[in-house]
Amino acid sequence: MKITGYRSLSTVHDWGRITGDVNGVQSGDTTAVPVLVIETDAGIEGVGLGVHTDIARVFPAVEGEDPRAVVALYDRMLDWVFKAGHAGPVFGTIGAVDMALWDLKAKMAGEPLWRTLGARERFVPGYASGLEYGLTDEEVAQLYGRFADRGFKAGKVKGGRDLDRDLPRLEIVREALSRNSRRPALMFDANESWNQAQAARYVAAIEEHLDLTWVEEPLRRWDAAGLAALRGKIRAAVASGENLTGLEQYRPLLDAKALDIVQVGNVWGITHFLRVATLAHGHDLPVSPVAYNANPIAHAAAAVPNLLTYEVQDLHFPVGLDVDQEFGDGGIILGDRPGIGILVDEAQLSSGNSVATAPASTGPHIRPERAALRLVAEPDVIDVPAMPLRPDS
């Protein structure tokens, strides 16, 4: 079998609500989902998800190769771009190709990827994470109530600018999930919006009222010294890593003992996740994947010995993607469909474009000018009435 080509497609995820974090919210209730299909001369195709704007640059590294050599091809893609570097969208493109190659490998074996990777169980424990920053308190309660209906015992809240707003929302999530646990696990995500002193004061203030399981991205992703110092000032565990691209970016954090929980982004691919999980395991640290549409890394998460929990952001899937997963017992239940379990209905998708499109001018992907430089809570998007959740969301 040889890799012969690719198709770049695009669909959307309809959240039924606005999504965002302390840095901003999306302007509508749908977000783009890029889909990459890798073609072979045997007619079997692999599916990868995530932005892949550099596919024309990366694809020659795998064209004509046998997709079963997926780990070697991952390194070949890294070698292919070594002069310019593999950060950012290049790493995302490599991740999407890698995901599609693992999909192909498992399909050729006639089994789900979690089996191919050696997992014993199909269940992946998870936590609810609604990207709920732009919602009203009532909508937050409704949203996490739906997660509670699926057995979730842990939930994450976005915030970091206004303690008087964040504390009640943490309590709302705790109350919603308490039907499944006397002490639900609560996480708080500041999305790199604090400096070290702000982080220490803010988390300490929360911990006067609530027990936090972890605080996520309290400081900039590369601040090994700051994160290590913060660990000694708060009770909550420190979690970070979702935006790091490559093992070389994790090493300084692990060497500085800056993290309690090592996080990995879905969009960076399966081989990257497996390698980071191994690196974390060598430091006796748990790993936790940060979610993406259709949870493609869940198959790999099921196979590593140090998985703590998996972020689940929604209970629905993107338009045109039939995903062989269920949500129950507080996690993801993977199916038996060969590969990563995604069937693509291309009639519902549009042709993608490998040229990057201009992002929206506001949203969680843009760091505000005054991030980590605010003395007091200031008006922002939270003062604008949120769009109501649709009944079917």
Q: What is the pLDDT of residue 336?
A: 98
Q: If you count them, how many residues does the chain have?
A: 393
Give CA–CA dist 153/304, Å, rounded: 22
DSSP conformation class of 383: G
Q: What SS3 class is residue 176? A: helix
**In a shared domain, residues 58 and 146:** no
Tokens 């040889």 locate to 2
Residue 357 lies in a domain: no
**In a shared domain, residues 93 and 143:** no
Residue 50 lies in a domain: yes
Q: What is the largest CA-CA distance in the chain?
A: 61
CB 258 within 8 A of CB 289: no
The encoded tokens of residue 174 equal 């705790």
What is the DSSP secondary-structure string of 247-294?
A: HHHHHHHHHTT--SEEEEEGGG-HHHHHHHHHHHHHTT--EEEEP-TT
Q: Which of 338, 357, 377 is the last residue of a domain?
A: 338
Q: Which of 91, 112, 133 is the last residue of a domain?
A: 112
**In a shared domain, residues 64 and 135:** no
Query: Which structural domain range is residue 209 located in?
Result: 115-338
The encoded tokens of residue 198 equal 């702000």
Q: Is the dihedral of CA 257, 366, 348, 97 positive or negative?
A: negative
**In a shared domain, residues 119 and 108:** no
What radius of gyration, in Å, describes the C-alpha atoms of the chain? 20
**In a shared domain, residues 58 and 34:** yes
224-231 vs 196-207: helix crossing angle, rounded to 10: 30
**In a shared domain, residues 180 and 105:** no
**In a shared domain, residues 64 and 96:** yes
Nearest to 389 by CA among 174, 141, 164, 40: 141
Give CA–CA dist 267/96, Å, rounded: 7
Q: What is the dihedral of CA 291, 295, 296, 298, to 10 degrees?
A: 90
CB 349 within 8 A of CB 11: yes
Q: What is the pLDDT of residue 380?
A: 58
Q: What is the pLDDT of residue 356?
A: 47
What is the full per-residue pLDDT of the chain (393 aa) written as tens digits? 999 999 999 999 999 999 999 999 998 999 999 999 999 999 999 999 999 999 999 999 999 999 999 999 999 999 999 988 888 899 999 999 999 999 999 999 999 999 999 999 999 999 999 999 999 999 999 999 999 999 999 999 999 999 999 999 999 999 999 999 999 999 999 999 999 999 999 999 999 999 999 999 999 999 999 999 999 999 999 999 999 999 999 999 999 999 999 999 999 999 999 999 999 999 999 999 999 999 999 999 999 999 999 999 999 999 999 999 999 999 999 999 999 999 999 999 888 755 445 556 667 888 888 888 887 776 654 544 444 566 555
Q: What SS3 class is residue 156? A: strand
**In a shared domain, residues 136 and 39:** no
Residue 56 lies in a domain: yes
**In a shared domain, residues 45 and 61:** yes
Residue 370 lies in a domain: no
Which residues pair with residue 215 across a beta bridge? 188, 238
Q: What is the pLDDT of residue 383?
A: 47
Give CA–CA dist 265/92, Å, rounded: 10
CB 288 within 8 A of CB 263: yes
Residue 10 lies in a domain: yes
**In a shared domain, residues 105 and 144:** no
H helices of the chain, in order, are 55-58, 70-80, 88-109, 113-116, 137-149, 163-177, 196-207, 224-231, 247-255, 270-282, 298-301
Q: What is the pLDDT of residue 393?
A: 57
Residue 16 lies in a domain: yes
Q: What is the pLDDT of residue 92?
A: 96
- Indicate the pTM of the whole model: 0.93
Q: Please report, for the domain that includes residue 213, its CATH number.
A: 3.20.20.120
Q: What is the pLDDT of residue 83?
A: 85
Phi, psi values for residue 80, rounded to 5°: -65, -30
Total of domains in the chain: 2
Give CA–CA dist 238/224, Å, rounded: 11
Q: Which of 79, 112, 145 is the last residue of a domain?
A: 112
Residue 59 lies in a domain: yes
Q: What is the pLDDT of residue 384?
A: 45
Angle among Cα 183, 127, 104 to the nearest 5 degrees reads 155
Residue 259 lies in a domain: yes
pLDDT tens-place string over residues 233-276: 999 999 999 999 999 999 999 999 999 999 999 999 999 999 99
Q: What is the pLDDT of residue 364?
A: 84
**In a shared domain, residues 80 and 226:** no
163-177 vs 196-207: helix crossing angle, rounded to 10: 50
Nearest to 55 by CA among 81, 82, 83, 85: 81
Q: Please report, for the domain that includes residue 58, its CATH number.
A: 3.30.390.10
Q: What is the pLDDT of residue 218?
A: 98
**In a shared domain, residues 107 and 84:** yes
Helices (H), strands (E): how many in the chain? 11, 18
Q: What is the dihedral of CA 195, 266, 133, 154, to 10 degrees?
A: -100
